Amino acid sequence: MLKISFEDWKNSMSFMIDDNFDNNFLLSIEPLTRFINQNCQLFSNAEPLSIFLTSDSELKAVDKLKAFVSLIGLSEERLKRVVSLVRFRFYQEDFKSEWTVNQISRKLITDKGFKDLMIEFFIDGRNSQIGAEIPLYYMKNFKLTDQEFISELRNYKYVERILNDNEIQGKYSNEVGAHVERIIQTKLEDYKEHINATLQYEIQKEFPLLNKNIDFLIPSVNSPIILIESSYNITTGSGQSKRADQLVEFYGTLMRHNANHRANKIIILNYCDGFGWVGRQNDLHRIYDASDFVFNQRTINVLDVVLNEYIPNPMA
């Protein structure tokens, strides 16, 4: 089969359209919103706020932390910078990488001294030990002692809007990425049901040749014929260049393998979608050149054609 042209692939990029997915995702924020409405009156007191941010009860502590920093206008990225300052200035740590929000959440749970420093910062802002070294701009919405602000946090629509605009945007991107993988798997299952019942595949398995977990390996990690990698980007960023670098490296490794093992050729399909890729066309073109075939949601049937050509069908 012929690989679709780069222009056709680029022009087929789109948002992931699935109203059921979006509606279910929007409903997923409801428990957290309600929980904040019911507990916000405690946020101005150190001990209740500490319990809110460190307890895995009705909701995960890390999810509450992410929501909380959105509500006070700090953002996850700024939280990481603040924690880096704490590690450097208060703990005298020598480190080369920042903590993730998950790591920060675990530290709040396990280190009382760290937790007390952060809780004091959240409530007292500039009048805290940490706040003395943080720009006021970062703390412009640190209003936990302002009853008018607390009253706003009792308003469901207000909190829902803040979380939708901030905290869950990153989560939405991650969930869409996972949903894209489900779209591919659904297509494979449909092919198995209607075209080739012997089709086999494995998901997210470590592939030693590339030293990486591959999204889909057909038929298996031990006898691969087709590798499928997927990427969905709503926005643009340097991570797309890193992704292109990685896939170019993979393709070079596969080409060397195929030159030495002609009877066991391995091909790679790359699924890229989302208008974030339209905004990074140089990186997208590099991925195109480092792929045997390419597809996305609008050109999903390319997968059927590739499977027909490369996977034996004893029923045909």
Q: Residue 18's pLDDT is what?
A: 84
The per-residue pLDDT for 166 is 64
pTM, 2 dp: 0.71
User: Which of 236, 36, 58 is CA-nearest to residue 149?
Assistant: 36
Residue by residue, pLDDT tens for the chain (316 residues) are 789 999 999 999 998 878 888 888 778 788 889 999 999 998 999 999 999 999 987 789 998 999 899 899 888 889 999 999 999 999 999 988 999 999 999 999 999 999 999 999 999 999 999 999 999 999 998 999 999 999 999 999 999 888 887 655 557 777 888 889 999 999 999 999 999 999 999 999 999 999 999 999 999 999 999 999 999 988 888 889 999 999 999 999 999 999 999 899 999 999 999 989 988 999 999 999 999 999 999 999 999 999 999 999 887 6
Chain centroid offset of residue 77 CA: 14
Domains of the chain: 6-14+176-310 (3.40.1350), 19-169 (no CATH)
% residues pLDDT > 70 (the chain): 98
pLDDT of res. 169: 53
Diameter of the chain measured on Cα atoms: 75
